[in-house]
Chain A
């Protein structure tokens, strides 16, 4: 009888142990992909922040210049009207992005899109995860008229 009791306990015990091992395996596997995706997300955020800083900090792109000095994070509305030509050379190979400058008080927008991901998204069919950062800036119409704005950069792997 004792041998029979031992067998039942042993079998149930082994089943529990195997079930726990399966659970652990799937748990670690599942989290491995989630953590990997998080690292990709951080990489994307860093790249988006780089683009936002570049476009708002360079007088060749969108930053205001008075001829002698240029002002980082202060955007020139004349350059914004020409945004597609000015930002055409700004991209990360293998990534799509959308840069949107919004004047917060009036809601006026300037936008440029690079790569196929956002076109697919507009059609409701993009499978890619999109990350984005926002950078508060000023838009200088004149020294007496400086409006607040936000540069939003959304980025995704193609």
Chain B
């Protein structure tokens, strides 16, 4: 199964195998390139605009008080307060983040061991994604010996 040419012998089956390998490699390379554009460029761009969610949430108010102030008091005092809003700062924060991200998206806000997660964070859809730090800010805490804390907002994205 070969073809005699002026320069030598061409093996047709080998040529077909070679062409199939070239075609498969082209398909894989092009699809990988498209995947990288979609996931790493376009999706990143869409998430970049959400970076500002953290200062926007912390500066917004709840019952006339800034959320950062409620959070600061909660972290400094824990449950040793009669203020219902300070006690419920977790639900206040969650309602604010859900407004921006939607509870079906994969987000987590945390400082030390205090955290607020979306409903979907532990779900099957989010659990396979890779956690990435979205943004962080420093807030001052009243009534505390260490008055400045770093707070974080993370998201989960497709694993590479």
The interface of chain A, by Cβ under 8 A from chain B, is: 5-6, 9-10, 13-14, 16-17, 20-21, 23-24, 27-28, 31, 34-35, 38-39, 41-42, 45-46, 49, 52, 73-74, 104-105, 133-138, 144-148, 150
Chain A: which residue is nearest B14 at the CB level? A13
- Please pick, from A16, A24, A46, the residue contacting B22 in the complex, using a CB distance under 8 A: A24
User: Known contacts A9-B12, A35-B33, A144-B64: does B56 contact A49 (CB below 8 Å)?
Assistant: no
At the interface with chain A, which of B38-46, B76-84, B111-119? B38-46
Between-chain CB contacts (< 8 Å), 6 pairs: A17-B16, A24-B23, A35-B34, A38-B41, A133-B49, A137-B52
Note all chain B residues with C-beta closer than 8 A to A147: 60-61
Note all chain B residues with C-beta closer than 8 A to A9: 1, 12
How far is the CB of A33 from the nearest CB of chain B, in Å?
Answer: 11
A-B pairs with the 9 shortest C-beta distances?
A13-B12, A136-B56, A144-B64, A104-B99, A45-B45, A136-B53, A133-B49, A146-B61, A20-B19
Chain A: which residue is nearest B65 at the CB level? A144
B19 contacts A138, C-beta separation under 8 Å? no
What is the predominant secondary structure among interface residues of chain B facing chain A?
helix
Rounded to whole angstroms, the CA-CA distance of A147 and B13 in the bound complex is: 70
B66 contacts A28, C-beta separation under 8 Å? no
Note all chain B residues with C-beta closer than 8 A to A150: 100
Note all chain B residues with C-beta closer than 8 A to A39: 37
B99 contacts A105, C-beta separation under 8 Å? yes
How far is the CB of B48 from the nearest CB of chain A, in Å?
Answer: 7
Number of interface residues of B (CB under 8 A): 39
Rounded to whole angstroms, the CA-CA distance of A98 and B17 in the bound complex is: 53
A146 contacts B60, C-beta separation under 8 Å? yes
B30 contacts A136, C-beta separation under 8 Å? no
Rounded to whole angstroms, the CA-CA distance of A49 and B52 in the bound complex is: 12
User: Known contacts A13-B16, A16-B16: does B45 contact A148 (CB below 8 Å)?
Assistant: no
User: Known contacts A24-B22, A35-B34: does B46 contact A148 (CB below 8 Å)?
Assistant: no
- Please pick, from B12, B15, B30, B56, the residue contacting A27 in the complex, using a CB distance under 8 A: B30
How far is the CB of A70 from the nearest CB of chain B, in Å?
Answer: 14
Chain B: which residue is nearest A13 at the CB level? B12
How far is the CB of A75 from the nearest CB of chain B, in Å?
Answer: 10
Note all chain A residues with C-beta closer than 8 A to B49: 49, 52, 133-136
Rounded to whole angstroms, the CA-CA distance of A45 and B3 in the bound complex is: 54
